[in-house]
Amino acid sequence: MLHPTPILKESPSQTAGPYVHIGLTPNFCGITGVYDADPGASMLTPDTRGERITITGRVLDGSGAPVNDAVLEIWQADATGAFSAPMGPNSNSAPAFTGWGRQPTGSDGTFIFETIKPGPVQGPDGKPMAPHVSLWIVARGINIGLQTRLYFADEAEANATDFVLNKILDARRRQTLIARREEGEVPRYTLDIILQGEGETVFFDF
Protein backbone atom coordinates (compact mmCIF):
# COMPACT_ATOMS: atom_id res chain seq x y z
CA MET A 1 0.00 0.00 0.00
CA LEU A 2 1.35 3.39 -0.95
CA HIS A 3 1.98 5.88 1.79
CA PRO A 4 -0.16 9.02 1.59
CA THR A 5 1.56 12.00 0.01
CA PRO A 6 1.80 14.85 2.51
CA ILE A 7 0.63 18.28 1.47
CA LEU A 8 3.68 20.50 1.39
CA LYS A 9 3.60 24.14 2.38
CA GLU A 10 4.71 26.76 -0.10
CA SER A 11 8.25 27.97 0.48
CA PRO A 12 8.43 31.60 1.52
CA SER A 13 9.57 34.04 -1.14
CA GLN A 14 12.91 35.73 -0.78
CA THR A 15 13.44 39.45 -0.75
CA ALA A 16 16.52 41.62 -0.97
CA GLY A 17 16.35 42.65 2.68
CA PRO A 18 16.50 43.44 5.44
CA TYR A 19 20.28 43.40 5.06
CA VAL A 20 20.67 45.36 1.82
CA HIS A 21 22.84 48.09 3.33
CA ILE A 22 25.04 45.60 5.16
CA GLY A 23 25.65 43.52 2.04
CA LEU A 24 26.04 46.29 -0.55
CA THR A 25 27.32 49.30 1.41
CA PRO A 26 29.11 47.93 4.49
CA ASN A 27 31.21 51.05 5.12
CA PHE A 28 28.03 53.13 5.21
CA CYS A 29 26.85 50.80 8.00
CA GLY A 30 30.10 51.14 9.92
CA ILE A 31 31.38 47.72 8.87
CA THR A 32 34.99 48.33 7.82
CA GLY A 33 37.62 46.01 6.43
CA VAL A 34 35.46 44.57 3.65
CA TYR A 35 36.21 47.27 1.06
CA ASP A 36 38.43 50.33 1.34
CA ALA A 37 35.37 52.21 0.03
CA ASP A 38 31.91 50.93 -0.83
CA PRO A 39 31.72 50.00 -4.54
CA GLY A 40 30.15 52.76 -6.58
CA ALA A 41 30.44 55.37 -3.83
CA SER A 42 32.47 57.68 -6.09
CA MET A 43 31.92 58.16 -9.82
CA LEU A 44 34.19 61.16 -10.44
CA THR A 45 37.86 62.09 -10.51
CA PRO A 46 39.39 65.56 -10.89
CA ASP A 47 40.01 64.74 -14.57
CA THR A 48 36.46 63.67 -15.43
CA ARG A 49 35.09 65.88 -18.21
CA GLY A 50 31.56 67.22 -18.29
CA GLU A 51 29.18 69.37 -16.25
CA ARG A 52 29.28 68.34 -12.61
CA ILE A 53 25.78 67.73 -11.21
CA THR A 54 24.13 66.17 -8.19
CA ILE A 55 21.22 63.76 -8.51
CA THR A 56 19.11 63.42 -5.40
CA GLY A 57 15.65 62.53 -4.15
CA ARG A 58 13.81 60.27 -1.75
CA VAL A 59 12.50 56.73 -2.00
CA LEU A 60 8.92 56.63 -0.65
CA ASP A 61 6.51 53.76 -0.08
CA GLY A 62 2.81 53.70 -0.94
CA SER A 63 1.87 55.61 2.22
CA GLY A 64 4.43 58.35 1.56
CA ALA A 65 6.79 57.10 4.27
CA PRO A 66 10.53 57.17 3.52
CA VAL A 67 12.23 53.86 2.72
CA ASN A 68 15.39 53.99 4.78
CA ASP A 69 16.92 50.66 3.76
CA ALA A 70 16.96 51.00 -0.03
CA VAL A 71 20.02 50.90 -2.28
CA LEU A 72 20.06 52.61 -5.68
CA GLU A 73 22.43 52.06 -8.57
CA ILE A 74 22.74 54.28 -11.62
CA TRP A 75 24.25 53.66 -15.03
CA GLN A 76 24.82 56.46 -17.51
CA ALA A 77 26.78 57.64 -20.52
CA ASP A 78 29.53 60.22 -20.21
CA ALA A 79 29.20 63.81 -21.38
CA THR A 80 29.78 62.78 -25.00
CA GLY A 81 27.07 60.12 -24.92
CA ALA A 82 29.54 57.22 -24.80
CA PHE A 83 29.57 54.24 -22.46
CA SER A 84 33.17 53.40 -21.64
CA ALA A 85 34.70 50.82 -19.36
CA PRO A 86 36.69 52.33 -16.47
CA MET A 87 40.24 53.00 -17.65
CA GLY A 88 39.23 51.81 -21.13
CA PRO A 89 40.98 53.12 -24.26
CA ASN A 90 37.87 55.06 -25.31
CA SER A 91 37.35 56.69 -21.93
CA ASN A 92 36.69 60.41 -21.78
CA SER A 93 39.02 61.02 -18.86
CA ALA A 94 42.10 59.64 -17.15
CA PRO A 95 41.26 57.79 -15.05
CA ALA A 96 37.91 57.06 -16.64
CA PHE A 97 34.53 58.30 -15.54
CA THR A 98 33.00 55.09 -14.23
CA GLY A 99 29.44 55.69 -15.44
CA TRP A 100 28.18 53.57 -12.54
CA GLY A 101 27.32 54.48 -8.98
CA ARG A 102 25.71 52.91 -5.92
CA GLN A 103 24.24 54.78 -2.96
CA PRO A 104 22.12 53.83 0.07
CA THR A 105 19.15 55.82 1.31
CA GLY A 106 19.47 57.59 4.63
CA SER A 107 17.05 57.58 7.55
CA ASP A 108 14.77 59.99 5.67
CA GLY A 109 14.86 57.95 2.45
CA THR A 110 17.22 60.38 0.71
CA PHE A 111 19.84 59.34 -1.84
CA ILE A 112 22.57 61.49 -3.42
CA PHE A 113 24.80 60.87 -6.45
CA GLU A 114 27.62 63.19 -7.49
CA THR A 115 28.13 62.72 -11.21
CA ILE A 116 28.17 64.52 -14.58
CA LYS A 117 25.30 65.28 -16.90
CA PRO A 118 25.19 62.57 -19.59
CA GLY A 119 25.05 63.23 -23.30
CA PRO A 120 22.45 61.71 -25.66
CA VAL A 121 22.92 58.11 -26.76
CA GLN A 122 21.52 56.28 -29.77
CA GLY A 123 18.10 54.71 -29.27
CA PRO A 124 16.69 51.46 -30.69
CA ASP A 125 15.17 53.44 -33.55
CA GLY A 126 18.58 54.84 -34.50
CA LYS A 127 17.73 58.35 -33.28
CA PRO A 128 19.38 60.01 -30.27
CA MET A 129 17.61 59.47 -26.96
CA ALA A 130 17.31 62.32 -24.49
CA PRO A 131 20.06 62.51 -21.86
CA HIS A 132 19.11 60.19 -19.01
CA VAL A 133 20.40 57.88 -16.33
CA SER A 134 19.13 54.37 -15.66
CA LEU A 135 18.25 53.49 -12.07
CA TRP A 136 17.94 50.19 -10.23
CA ILE A 137 16.26 50.17 -6.81
CA VAL A 138 16.27 47.37 -4.25
CA ALA A 139 15.02 47.29 -0.66
CA ARG A 140 13.42 45.07 1.92
CA GLY A 141 10.22 43.61 0.48
CA ILE A 142 11.27 44.05 -3.16
CA ASN A 143 11.68 40.59 -4.68
CA ILE A 144 13.17 41.78 -7.97
CA GLY A 145 15.07 45.03 -8.33
CA LEU A 146 13.01 47.84 -9.87
CA GLN A 147 14.29 49.51 -13.02
CA THR A 148 13.47 53.01 -14.14
CA ARG A 149 15.02 56.10 -15.69
CA LEU A 150 15.67 59.71 -14.74
CA TYR A 151 15.39 62.43 -17.36
CA PHE A 152 16.23 66.12 -17.05
CA ALA A 153 13.59 68.86 -17.01
CA ASP A 154 15.86 71.28 -18.89
CA GLU A 155 16.02 68.85 -21.84
CA ALA A 156 12.34 69.30 -22.74
CA GLU A 157 12.88 69.28 -26.52
CA ALA A 158 14.89 66.05 -26.41
CA ASN A 159 12.46 64.50 -23.91
CA ALA A 160 9.54 65.16 -26.27
CA THR A 161 10.99 62.81 -28.89
CA ASP A 162 12.68 60.25 -26.63
CA PHE A 163 12.05 56.64 -27.71
CA VAL A 164 11.38 55.32 -24.19
CA LEU A 165 9.39 58.25 -22.83
CA ASN A 166 7.05 58.04 -25.80
CA LYS A 167 6.32 54.40 -24.99
CA ILE A 168 4.51 55.74 -21.90
CA LEU A 169 1.10 56.56 -23.37
CA ASP A 170 -0.11 58.73 -20.50
CA ALA A 171 1.88 61.97 -20.70
CA ARG A 172 1.15 62.62 -17.02
CA ARG A 173 2.95 59.40 -16.05
CA ARG A 174 6.05 60.52 -17.95
CA GLN A 175 6.43 63.30 -15.40
CA THR A 176 7.34 60.71 -12.75
CA LEU A 177 10.69 60.34 -14.56
CA ILE A 178 11.55 64.03 -15.03
CA ALA A 179 13.95 65.52 -12.49
CA ARG A 180 13.70 69.24 -11.83
CA ARG A 181 16.84 71.38 -11.89
CA GLU A 182 17.91 73.63 -9.03
CA GLU A 183 20.72 76.06 -9.75
CA GLY A 184 23.76 76.33 -7.52
CA GLU A 185 27.53 76.06 -7.59
CA VAL A 186 26.83 72.46 -8.61
CA PRO A 187 23.38 72.11 -10.27
CA ARG A 188 21.07 69.71 -8.47
CA TYR A 189 18.46 67.49 -10.14
CA THR A 190 15.75 66.19 -7.82
CA LEU A 191 13.41 63.26 -8.37
CA ASP A 192 11.51 61.22 -5.79
CA ILE A 193 11.01 57.50 -6.39
CA ILE A 194 7.50 56.46 -5.33
CA LEU A 195 7.20 52.69 -5.10
CA GLN A 196 3.41 52.43 -5.34
CA GLY A 197 0.16 54.32 -4.96
CA GLU A 198 -0.62 57.86 -6.06
CA GLY A 199 2.14 59.29 -8.22
CA GLU A 200 3.85 55.91 -8.55
CA THR A 201 7.07 56.05 -10.55
CA VAL A 202 7.02 54.34 -13.93
CA PHE A 203 9.09 51.14 -13.75
CA PHE A 204 10.27 49.14 -16.74
CA ASP A 205 10.61 45.44 -17.45
CA PHE A 206 13.78 45.23 -19.51
Number of compact structural domains in the chain: 1
Is 160 domain-assigned? yes
Is 98 domain-assigned? yes
CATH number at residue 97: 2.60.130.10
Q: What is the pLDDT of residue 184?
A: 93
Is 58 domain-assigned? yes
pLDDT average, residue stretch 135-140: 93
pTM here is: 0.86
Is 187 domain-assigned? yes
Is 13 domain-assigned? no
DSSP 29-81: TT--SS-SS-TTS----TT--S-EEEEEEEEE-TTS-B-TT-EEEEEE--TTS
CA angle centred on 189, ends 176 and 162, rounded to 5°: 50
Q: Which residues pair with 71 in a beta bridge?
A: 104, 138
Count of CB atoms within 10 A of residue 113's CB? 24
Is 200 domain-assigned? no
Rounded to whole angstroms, the Cα distance separating 142 from 37 reads 26
Q: What is the pLDDT of residue 87?
A: 46
What pLDDT, in 10s, does the model give residues 6-22?
A: 787 877 666 666 688 99
Provide the residue range defining the domain that includes 159. Answer: 20-194
Residue type, 53: I
Is 123 domain-assigned? yes
Average pLDDT of every residue of the chain: 89
What pLDDT, in 10s, does the model give residues 66-120?
A: 999 999 999 999 999 988 665 445 545 445 688 999 999 999 999 999 999 999 9
Is 91 domain-assigned? yes
